[in-house]
Amino acid sequence: MSAPPDRVRSFLFEQLDIRGAWVQLGAAWREMTAGRNYPEPVLELLGQLAGVTTLITANLKQAGRLTFQLRGDGDVSLLVMDCDEQLRLRGMARAPSDLSAGSLPALLGGGALTLTLDTADMRQPYQSHVPLQGESLAAVFEHYLAQSEQAPTRLWLAANHETAAGLFLQALPGAAARDADGWNRVQILADTVRPDELLGLGAIKLIERLFPEEDVRVYDPRPVSYHCPYDPAKIYSMLRSVGRTECEAIIAEHGEIRVHDEICNHEYVLDAAAVAALFE
């Protein structure tokens, strides 16, 4: 039996100064996509984004909330994934419901990847933007990480309706001095991984399968969860900022105010009495 999903595990090639991480999402991924009816290509992209966001958040040096946005001018106009230091995920995609399969550049078109990092010690969140470069989501993030961390990085990502998974490898600064061929060798081995292995094997079995001759230290798993609770206070605050006159005009026209929280897929409905109470 493989380990239960919704886990991330870090590992280290002790003789090579290369670090890695593995993630597999089950229930958290299914909760995120419940009721969304995403077409297959969008589901796959969003699942891969969930995997890579978890992997990068788990490797952050400081505690904080990490958000990735991919905006494009193609049919998939937006992908968003958000993860905090407790590895609580939420995310969504914006795309037509009848979308057919295509390459990443065909689906997203031209656009940018935006990272937002918000930590307790920052006066305002840190943001960085890079153009979307690469034929796959893994390639886009490899390009981003090579620029932002100045460290060779590889990613393998997979997702279907049931599971989202990923594998991350990164050469640490001393890797070449420890073993000149180590990084090349580990990449070649990892390139043999199949999507069904990423989605179906636990961390230990996958590492044993890919790197049988290497000395790998595997750390304890960390749980990952989906976290997008109802938050009426956020909606009330937004409506107060809109103003009483505007809210009462909507009530007069429609009899109620409906607010859809797109990232959490929650619907908030307020009648005249609820709106009146907001401004008392």
pLDDT in tens, 181-196: 899 999 999 999 999 9
Per-residue pLDDT reduced to its tens digit, 81-96: 999 999 999 999 988 8
The residue with tokens 């460290």 is: 151
Write out pLDDT tens, residues 156-180: 999 999 999 999 999 998 888 888 8
Within-domain flag for 148: yes
The average pLDDT across 53-65 equals 89
**Shared-domain flag, residues 182 and 239:** no
For residues 214 and 76, state if they share a domain.
yes
Q: Is the pLDDT confidence value at 107 over 60?
A: yes
CB 136 within 8 A of CB 70: no
Report the pLDDT value the prediction gives residue 1, as an integer from 0 to 100.
43
Are 49 and 67 a contacting pair, CB within 8 Å? no
Is residue 44 in a domain?
yes
- Co-location of 243 and 212 in the same domain: no
Strands 222-223 and 216-218: unpaired
- Looking at the fold, whether 71 and 182 belong to one and the same domain comes out as yes
Q: Which two tokens stand for residue 231?
A: 């938050």
In a domain, 2, yes or no: no
Number of domains in the chain: 2
Q: What pLDDT score does 154 carry?
A: 96
Residue 1 is assigned to a structural domain of this protein: no
Whether the CB-CB separation of 23 and 165 falls below 8 Å is answered with yes
Q: What is the CATH number of the domain that holds 257?
A: 3.90.1280.10
Residues 268, 220 within the same domain: no
Looking up residue 146, the CATH number of its domain turns out to be 3.55.30.10
Asked, for residue 154, whether it belongs to a domain, the answer is yes
What's the mean pLDDT in 249-269? 85
What lies within 8 Å, CB to CB, of 37 at 6+ separation is: 97
Residues 153-179 as b/e (b if ≥16 CB within 10 A, e otherwise) read bbbbbbbeeebbbbbbbbbbeebeebb
117 with 170, same domain?
Answer: yes
Pairwise CA distance, residues 47 & 138, whole Å: 12
Domain boundary among 226, 241, 258: 226
In which domain, by residue range, is 241 found? 232-278
Stronger pLDDT, 238 or 83, i.e. the higher one: 83
Q: Which of 160, 143, 159, 140 is nearest to 151 (CA)?
A: 143
Report the amino acid identity of residue 90: R
Q: In terms of domains, do 161 and 255 share one?
A: no
Q: Exposure of 79 by Cβ count < 10 A (0-12 exposed, 13-18 middle, 19+ buried)? A: buried
Query: Mean pLDDT over residues 205-216, rounded?
Result: 94
Whether 106 is in a domain gets the answer yes
The reported pLDDT for the residue numbered 223 is 96
pTM: 0.89
**Of all helices (H) and strands (E), which one includes residue 249?**
helix 244-254
Count of helices and strands (H, E) across the chain: 11, 14
Residues 193 and 218 in one domain: yes
Mean pLDDT over 96-103 rounds to 78
Task: Answer yes or no: is 271 within a domain.
Answer: yes
Task: Please name the helix (run of DSSP H) or strand (run of DSSP E) that holds residue 175, with its range, or none.
Answer: helix 175-178
In a shared domain, residues 43 and 145: yes
Show the tokens assigned to 78: 């937006």
Distance CA(204)–CA(97), nearest Å, equals 37
How many angstroms separate the CA atoms of 63 and 34, rounded?
29
Residues 24 and 148 in one domain: yes
Counting Cβ atoms within 10 Å, is residue 98 exposed (0-12), middle (13-18) or buried (19+)?
A: exposed
Contact between 185 and 72 under an 8 Å Cβ cutoff? The reply is no
Residue 157 lies in a domain: yes
Confidence check: pLDDT of 2 > 60 = no
Rounded mean pLDDT of the chain?
89
- The answer on 13 and 77 residing in a single domain is yes
Assign 279 a pLDDT band (cuts: 50, 70, 90): confident
263 with 135, same domain: the answer is no
- For residue 204, what pLDDT is reported? 95
Residue 4 has a pLDDT of 59
The DSSP bridge partners found for residue 171 are 18
